[in-house]
Amino acid sequence: MYSKVIVPLDGSELSDQALPYAQLIARSLDVPIELVQAYDILPPGLLGARNNQGVISTLEEGARAQALVAMESQRRRLEGEGHSVSVVAQRGAAADVIVAVAGGDPTALVVMSTHGRSGISRWVMGSVTDKVLHTTANPMLIVRANVLGPPSPETSLRTVVAPLDGSPLSELSIPHAISVAGALSAGITVLRITPTEDHYRRQLNLTAPEMGAIPDFELSNPDELTAEDVQETSNYLDDVRNRMRIDHAHGVATEHRTNDNIAQAIIDRASEQPSLVVMTTHGRSGVGRMVLGSVTDRVIRHSNLPVLVIR
């Protein structure tokens, strides 16, 4: 599924928490790991050096060497555990460097934590991760950093939850869900969220006569709409499960829930047991459907779950 796994680091323990997930996927798929660190050479106090090429060259050489040294211990450790590892130290803003390095190989998977530390040649991983997420075309696994240290993904992630909205765009996540589930030796739950009856009631103005009822609307009964959702979703999930089995996916379960807050419903389901969520950033809109771009963003921001985002 992926040609390599790219892990941006900033020298902090929190950014290092992406590494266990990167290792697990790289080992399972037999692909190399590439460590990336950005650096800057001109902190504010050295603005006068900007016109001195000799000073700039010296500073850049030193900053690049420092970045490479910062990644050396992780490189040695990963190689000692049997991984093929390369390192990239590149001058520039962190998000720009990460996007550029990843963009050189569209099939590379970027694995990042959401927090790190700030300072000279460092970045706040939350904001950088956000910039990379909204810029890169590469698949991206976002890991919520924990100040107490990360749980082992081999033991903590037993389910891959793949929310779908019925659109071909949302289904682009399916091959990734199958691949990552194989890496984790985890089951897959395909999740479909549809609106509650109250949602349809509000949409049809049945609870607010003063706003004008819709007596001639073809499906003016909320019960009919929810019943239609149940039947349509059942057929759809059966079809998805059968297609995934053809692709040699094992342990595929399907689940239908009703909730008017799509993102919260996904978080609630995935939090019932430690899970990894696999989602695309776009889907389809409409009454009771999810716009996966905004939903994915909310799942990332409001949960502690690792989320694999497919552009």
- What's the confidence (pLDDT) of residue 117? 47
Does 141 score more than 80 pLDDT?
yes
Q: Please give the Cα distance from 156 to 165 (Å, whole number).
A: 27
Residue 186's DSSP bridge partners are none
**Homologous superfamily in CATH for domain 5-150:** HUPs (3.40.50.620)
- The CATH code that applies to domain 157-310 is 3.40.50.620
Query: For 74, how many CA atoms within 13 A lie in the half-sphere containing its CB?
Result: 29
Confidence label for 291 from pLDDT (cuts 50, 70 and 90): very low
The 10s digit of each residue's pLDDT in 208-243 is: 555 555 555 454 588 888 889 899 999 999 999 999
User: Which DSSP letter does residue 191 get?
Assistant: E
Is a pLDDT exceeding 90 seen at residue 77? yes
Provide the pLDDT for residue 176.
Answer: 94
Q: Where do the structural domains in the chain lie, given as residue ranges? A: 5-150, 157-310
Domains 5-150 and 157-310 share a fold: yes
Which structure tokens are listed for 164? 């779908």
Bridge partner list, 257:
193
Q: Are 46 and 59 in contact (CB under 8 A)?
A: yes
Residue 125's identity, in one-letter code, is M
Rounded CA gap, 47 and 289, in Å?
52
Q: Which residues of 134-150 are buried (b: 16+ CB within 10 A; e: fewer)?
A: ebbebbbbbbbbeeeeb
pLDDT at 285 over 80: no
